[in-house]
Amino acid sequence: MFMRKYECPKLLNIEPSFYERWLSRKAIAHVKRDRKRWPNIGTINRKTYMEAIHAAVIKSNGKDAYTGEHLRWELLSTWSDEMAKGNGSKHKSNFAFLPTVDHVRPSSESPVEFKICAWRTNDAKSDMTYKDLIGFCRKVIRHSKKK
């Protein structure tokens, strides 16, 4: 029997070949971006990134790493530019829980580390570090209590 290199976690409830295709595409996209962002990071390749993203998926247990909310894995690769043009932010809001790959800033100990989170979380977090994100969220909460 054929054994997949990156076994799709059963709790995601998606087709294994679909998962491997998504994993490969995400790895390629991040490799391209990181080569531009950090040209001196060292060896950057698809295999290393696939392993790191797969490890993040396993660790996520199907949930957003920052909020603990369940992700909608069935939404992988279902985004439509045509639908987005016609429906704008309403279309995007339907994808709030689409799983995305958040790149944790590289360090000397771990040049490649990822977390899995919802698209809206990744969008809100942007390029902030985890510490910056927490500080920002505290400011939002403090401000909301003043109103």
Position 3 scores a pLDDT of: 45
Question: What are phi and psi for residue 92, nearest 5 degrees?
Answer: -60, -40
What are the residues whose beta carbons fall under 8 Å from the beta carbon of 86, sequence distance 6 or more? Answer: none
Banded model confidence at residue 123, pLDDT cuts 50, 70, 90: very high
Kindly tell me if the per-residue pLDDT of 86 is higher than 60.
yes
Tokens of 40: 């001196």
Indicate the pLDDT class of residue 122, thresholds 50, 70 and 90.
very high
- Which pLDDT does position 19 carry in this prediction? 94
Report how far residue 142's alpha carbon sits from residue 44's, in angstroms, rounded to the nearest whole number: 41
How open is the CA angle 6-66-68, to the nearest 5 degrees? Answer: 80
Q: Is pLDDT above 60 for 132?
A: yes
3-state per-residue secondary structure call for the chain: CCCCCCCCCHHHCCCHHHHHHHHHHHHHHHHHHHHHHCCCCCCCCHHHHHHHHHHHHHHHCCECCCCCCECCHHHCCCCCHHHHHHHHHHHHHCCCCCEEEEEECCCCCCCCEEEEEEHHHHHHHCCCCHHHHHHHHHHHHHHHHHC
* Residue range 96-123: mean pLDDT, rounded: 86
pLDDT of residue 107 exceeding 90: no
Distance CA 75, CA 123 (A): 17
- At 2, is the pLDDT very low, low, confident or very high (cuts 50, 70, 90)? very low
Q: Which two tokens stand for residue 64?
A: 């957003």
